[in-house]
Amino acid sequence: METRKKTYVADIERGVYDIKDEVKYRYKVQKGLTEEIIRKISARKNEPEWMLNFRLKALEVYNSKPMTDWGPDLSDLDMNDIIHYLEPDSAPMNENWDDVPSYIRDTFDRLGIPEAEKQSLAGVGAQYDSEVVYHSIHKELTEQGVIYTDIETAIKEYEDILKEYFMTLITVNDHKFSALHGAVWSGGSFIYVPKGVKVNMPLQSYFRLNAPEAGQFEHTLIIVDEGADLHFIEGCSAPKYQKNALHAGAVELFVRKGARLRYSTIENWSRNMYNLNTKRALVEEDGVIEWVSGSFGSRISMLYPMSILKGDRARCEFTGVTFASSGQNLDTGCKIVHIGKNTTSTVHSKSISKNGGASFYRGLLRVMPEATGTKATVECESLMLDNISSSDTIPIIDIRNDSVDIGHEAKIGRISDEAIFYLMSRGISEDEAKAMIVRGFVEPISKELPLEYAVELNKLIELELEGTIG
């Protein structure tokens, strides 16, 4: 007799994602956040004085701002119990995979990063805890003038560019966690694609947080120049610990005239993670920004990628899926601001909740007075797999001129008993029938990803469904 799986589980076994490495480090700061800690981080990185001054100013702003209180409850996040900087026991920025320490290399091997690099990527960055440990880029891209390196290297080799762009889209005054990021940021990627260059294969950065009670604060800065094209993939994961961890990175994207940038994210954090990332794009005339986002894991997520359509005929497409289970509150969405004339935006957001998980779509669509001829569509769909989960949508639409074409649709529902019965009548088990419906629900998202990452997305969905239906 087949053993049936439990109907409800508090957590899931996440396979390779939950394998913990021994915590080995060359250097770490004590828990908490003080001026002394900021100075130690800056000195450790041998930064120019302007960056130290920037960090100290950000710390002042952080200390002056209250904790966010309008979204999920963050009262259990004790910043004095977080290690804000931890250097792994590895030389920074290895260009040869074999030079990365074996225990770190094994982690990324399990996650499939080297294999993905061989098969489908034009360049890879790998960050472990607070530092980038590996970086590579195809020679032909370098010959075309493409720059892909870590932020620390960029500050030294491209200082003028960094001073011009670093934390100008996302400022320390935006909110408490952007100020925190400005004070303690470490690691991340800098990418510049010259005019007219089409990068045919994606670049990827993967962020792995291994240490318990730690924070990760990488900074990604991408400039896609006029007429250029880039697909960038961001992967994130962490093993499960009993105490809270924090991810508060920042992503700044500059899309020039006629350029296109696709930014894909697969986030698979553990259930003890607070994911408080900030992402923002500025799009100029005839430019295109495409967001593809899969958000799994984490205890709490507050993530709302923002697109500023500054130039005429600028376009934005946002496609996202979240999956919330027991003990999770995933508060996600996007923000789009139309400024240029004849700009276009499309939002497709899907959320799934089960076992008492809470999915929350929070979106803003703002059309400025000068943004005549705007066309925008927002679609929010939510699927609940039981009677104890919740799903909410708050789509805010702020229109400040009359020359617009706006559409909005929201759907919240449960799996149809009729659909399950139909599939079972065709010889499919109840569990597989439900899984098929879920996979079909997220298919518009998975089809937008490269094959390897679509497979990973479906694997994550299968993990989340394991033991919850039947």
Residue 439 has, within 13 A of its CA and on its CB side, a CA count of 15
With beta carbons less than 8 A apart as the criterion, state whether 48 and 134 touch.
no
Token pair for residue 123?
């360049």
Residue 48 has, within 13 A of its CA and on its CB side, a CA count of 13
Q: For the chain, 470 residues long, give each residue's pLDDT as a single digit of tens.
A: 334 333 333 444 555 555 556 666 778 899 999 999 999 999 999 999 999 999 999 999 999 999 888 889 999 999 999 999 888 876 566 667 777 777 677 777 766 666 666 666 778 887 877 888 887 888 899 999 999 999 999 999 999 999 999 999 999 999 999 999 999 999 999 999 999 999 998 898 888 887 778 889 999 999 999 999 999 998 887 776 668 889 999 999 999 999 999 999 888 787 888 999 999 999 999 999 999 988 877 899 999 999 999 999 999 999 998 888 888 899 999 999 999 999 999 999 988 888 889 999 999 999 999 999 999 999 998 888 888 888 888 889 999 999 999 998 877 777 777 878 888 888 888 778 877 878 777 777 777 776 666 666 677 677 666 644 43
pLDDT score for 84: 93
* The overall pTM is greater than 0.95: no
With beta carbons less than 8 A apart as the criterion, state whether 210 and 242 touch.
no
CB crowding 89-101: b at 16 or more within 10 Å, else e: ebebebeebeebb
Coil, strand, or helix at residue 208?
strand
Look up tokens 């499939």; give the residue: 112
- β-partners of residue 216 are 247
Residue 198 exposed, middle or buried by CB count within 10 Å (0-12, 13-18, 19+): exposed
pLDDT score for 10: 43
pLDDT score for 102: 74
- The CA distance from 276 to 178, in Å, is 9
Look up tokens 């225990």; give the residue: 103
Closest to 278 (Cα-Cα) out of 238, 337, 334: 334
Closest to 73 (Cα-Cα) out of 276, 295, 212, 249: 276
pLDDT score for 453: 65
With beta carbons less than 8 A apart as the criterion, state whether 389 and 419 touch.
no
First to last CA, the chain: 15
